[in-house]
Structure 1
Amino acid sequence: MNKDISLKRKLRYLMLIPVFIFTITACENSEDNAFTDWPIIEAYLTPGCPIQVKLSRQLPFSSEVTYSDDDINNLEIIVYDAQDSVTLTPIGNGQYVDSTFVLQEGSMINIRFSFNQKNVSAYSYIPVKPSGFTQSATSISISQMGSSSGQPTSPPTMPEPIELNWTNDDASYYLLVIENIEEEPEAVFEFEDDEERPAPRFRKQPSTASGVRLNAMEFQYYGMHRIILCHVLPDYATLYESTSSSSQNLTNP
């Protein structure tokens, strides 16, 4: 018996995850092999959402290092673009936020502050949202597979892949996420009670293509699924590839 998997047409386009690139300038020089207490800047920016920036310190290989006296939770961090600027509010654990600064797609966002007697600056570009999205189907039917469904009398017939396409004239990077949004989704492949169930979502690795194919066997659950198409920067694509194909160590878009 075939059951349906539906793809929700409403897309969440504006999940943009730029990675900050930072530079540090100072008057003094240090030895090449000496540890320097440089900050690590992490920020995830989405138009229409509050700014969130997290600072942390490097973890040196040696325990005999000296950290600066700077309080990672009490720095004056300024974020600005071509029109406006704002000083972020610290909320602890190295996190800084602001809800008044309006993030605009297609704009360059800058950050600056002082740390360890050095001027720290960082910048990132917010990509524009995807456009021209089309899909060849809104649902597919797949037979449930497992012991309770019985042995098939013939090999199952797989439905045609679903084609997803969008405009990508400038060869930008796009990340696609397919997420099951049912409260208690039914599994396509039956599992034993003690087996770990797969995640209710899967991703397509960032690429510069203008479309992808979704094959029936990629879906783990029946029911309604949400399509999330993310326009990401090359830095994020590189980080994704170097971390893992599943991107489990990255913040979910």
Structure 2
Amino acid sequence: MYLSLLLICCYSCKKSQDVENDYYDRPVVQAYLVPGVPIQVKVSYQKFMEDTITHGYPITNLNLKISNGTDEVLLSETSPGVYNYADASFVKDHQHYALSFEYLGKTITAETSVPGKPTGFRVSSTTQVVPEFSFGTTPAAFIPLVFNWNNPGKENYMMVFKNTDLYKTPTDSRFNRTYQDIESILGTVATHQTQQMTFNYLGNYQVLLFHINEEYSKAISSSSSNSLNLTPQYTNVQNGLGIFTAMRADTLNVLVTH
């Protein structure tokens, strides 16, 4: 019985190691197609869990192609692991695209379709007042902005708040935060309202509403895996990892002030 258990254990370890090696042999693809924007695809090695680097090392010298079903274009490697196609007119609304390249004897493929531009995007006010904090006084109530858009098909959306000022002024001088764009995966709703914590800086904002595909929503949702939750991240890349997707945006401008 002990010998049988030992053989089973050795087989399981070898099988697990083979699966792990196969997993780490897959290239990681990162690409977001947007109409009117040149195509950029990043390809890298998968990181091992013990690696401290932010991203895997780039994979170079690939013949990476993208097809729209009628025409096929070859991307140029402009820096290690970064492949570009400069003609911004190649990506169009409602078209289907397929990516392919060869790596370690396997064909790596992925497909996506460009969603339509959001319609009916509107906001309750173009000015967001963030009450100013001061000692000894009660701050005024925060009145949120309400964004709405058309979504009869219950499709997926994401919103990004981007401060466009060259010199950024914090909403609260007590805190010196590093600036970051605020991104929110909204799901299939047709409305969104701001919170006071949405804005760490005053000034001019672009508010971008992205119509995204389900594959991107799934990839973002699965990216919360950590050492206590080793659920594999979602990918739509065959024989690889990562995401090949497309999105379409509409934009409103908002001023944040006290």
Task: State how far apart, in whole Å, the 1-side matches of 2:85 and 2:93 are.
Answer: 17
Q: Which runs of 5+ in 1 are unaligned?
A: 1-30, 63-70, 245-249
Matched, 1:91 2:78: yes
Over the aligned positions, Cα root-mean-square deviation in angstroms equals 2.7
Matched, 1:151 2:136: yes
Deviation at 1:49, TM superposition (A): 1.2
Secondary structure, in 3 states, of the residue corresponding to 1:235? helix
One-letter identity of the residue aligned with 2:41: V
Contact 1:198 1:220 (C-alpha < 8 Å) held by counterparts: no
The sequence identity of aligned pairs, in percent, is: 26
Report the TM-score, using the length of structure 1 for normalisation: 0.69
Alignment of 1:1-253 (within 5 A): 33-34=17-18, 35-36=21-22, 37-59=25-47, 72-100=59-87, 102-145=90-133, 149-152=134-137, 155-191=138-174, 196-199=176-179, 201-243=181-223
Map Cα deviations across residues 194-243 of structure 1 (whole Å, 9 max, x no partner).
x5425253232331100101134532222222111111122222232333
The structure, 1 or 2, with the larger RCO (C-alpha pairs under 8 Å, 6+ apart) is: 1
One-letter identity of the residue aligned with 1:197: R
Task: State how far apart, in whole Å, the 2-side matches of 1:211 and 1:97 are.
Answer: 35
Contact 1:177 1:202 (C-alpha < 8 Å) held by counterparts: yes
Distance 1:105 1:156, change over 3 A: same
Report the TM-score, using the length of structure 2 for normalisation: 0.68
One-letter identity of the residue aligned with 1:222: L
Map Cα deviations across residues 28-65 of structure 1 (whole Å, 9 max, x no partner).
xxx77522333222212111111111222234579xxx
Secondary structure, in 3 states, of the residue corresponding to 1:44? strand
Task: State how far apart, in whole Å, the 1-side matches of 2:169 and 2:49 are.
Answer: 47
Distance 1:159 1:55, change over 3 A: closer
Secondary structure, in 3 states, of the residue corresponding to 2:91? coil
One-letter identity of the residue aligned with 1:78: K
Contact 1:165 1:210 (C-alpha < 8 Å) held by counterparts: yes
Map Cα deviations across residues 54-86 of structure 1 (whole Å, 9 max, x no partner).
222234579xxxxxxxx9422222210122111
Task: State how far apart, in whole Å, the 1-side matches of 2:123 and 2:162 are.
Answer: 16
Distance 1:213 1:56, change over 3 A: same
Contact 1:80 1:86 (C-alpha < 8 Å) held by counterparts: yes
One-letter identity of the residue aligned with 1:140: Q
Deviation at 1:136, TM superposition (A): 0.9
Aligned length: 200
Task: State how far apart, in whole Å, the 1-side matches of 2:168 and 2:30 are.
Answer: 34
